[in-house]
Each structure stands twice: as structure tokens, then as C-alpha cells.
Amino acid sequence: MEREDIADSEILSRLVFNPPMYKNSTLIWKLIFEFQNNQCESLIWHRHVGFSPAIAEVHACGCRREAEKIVKARDLGKVPATYVGAITATAGAIQAYQNPNGHGFVVVHEPSEGREHVHVCYRSAPDTMTRGDKNELKLKLGEIFSDLDPHSCPAHPASQ
């Protein structure tokens, strides 16, 4: 599949899991977008998730991911993370922000991970950014993305 350009008006969502991204009914912003080892973070592109209301299809993606996490956690003897909903923003809002030092984000279609898969990445080379730049950028995403659109998945056969 070829990469597609993502218009500023395109709607993107981040799947949120408890733990670690959500605790005591609160979004934990520093854990929603970690950019561990300066890696990109995954988003879901509404355009490519289906024909019913897009957020319903995003939630279906979250429930499928929850089912995968249940199996993996069971195999490792751990408590699985549960999908609790999604936060949403436009590609344009994400890419428009630039901090005072000139750093920001870029969104890139990553179809090798699924047609609906998008990455949000630092726009500047991470080695040109201070820890403060990175923290400020991650927290700024909390202002750019919507409040949580909550969801609870039905029981998965793997969890029983």
C-alpha cells in the first residue's frame, strides 16, 4: 500500500488504555504520548476505519487491540490493559503547533501497519531538542486533542 498525504482537515484519534494512560478517571498526558527513544506514536486515521460513524470504528480498533493485550498479558502472567476510549484532533492542529524553539510535530501515513495507521513524530531531529522541548511538546498535545470519548469493550473470549 502506498503512503497517502494527510490533509490538515483529516481527523485522527489516539487509543487510550488503562493502565498506563488513564488512572482514577484522569488522562495521564505524559504517558499518552511518550515518544520513547524518540520513536513516533500511533494514531488512527478516521478516513480509513470504515463506513459507520468513524469514532465507532475507532472504538472497534481499540477493542481489537484490547483483545490482543489480554492474550499477551495472560501469556506473561500480567494484568492486561483495557481500552477506555479515544482522544481526537485534526492533522492540521497537530502540525500547526511550533514551540518557541521551532520544534513541533509531523503526521505521516504508515500503511505498512494497517491502512488506518498514522504516526505522529517530532518534526525536528530529536538530538536538536532539549528534554524541556520534548516535555513541552508532549504536554501541548493535551491541549490539541479532545477530551476522552469513553468506551467499554464487551467481554473478550480470551479473557474468560
**Domain residue extents for the chain:** 11-155
C-alpha span between 85 and 10 (Å, rounded): 19
Contacts of 143 (CB under 8 A, 6+ apart): none
Predicted confidence (pLDDT) per residue in 88-101, tens digit: 999 999 999 999 99
pLDDT the model gives residue 140: 94
Nearest to 137 by CA among 29, 42, 43: 29
CA–CA dist 10, 44 (Å, integer) = 11
The model's pLDDT over 27-60, given as tens digits with 9 standing for 90+, comes to 988 899 999 998 999 999 999 987 666 789 999 9
| pTM, rounded to two decimals | 0.90
Three-class SS state of 105: strand
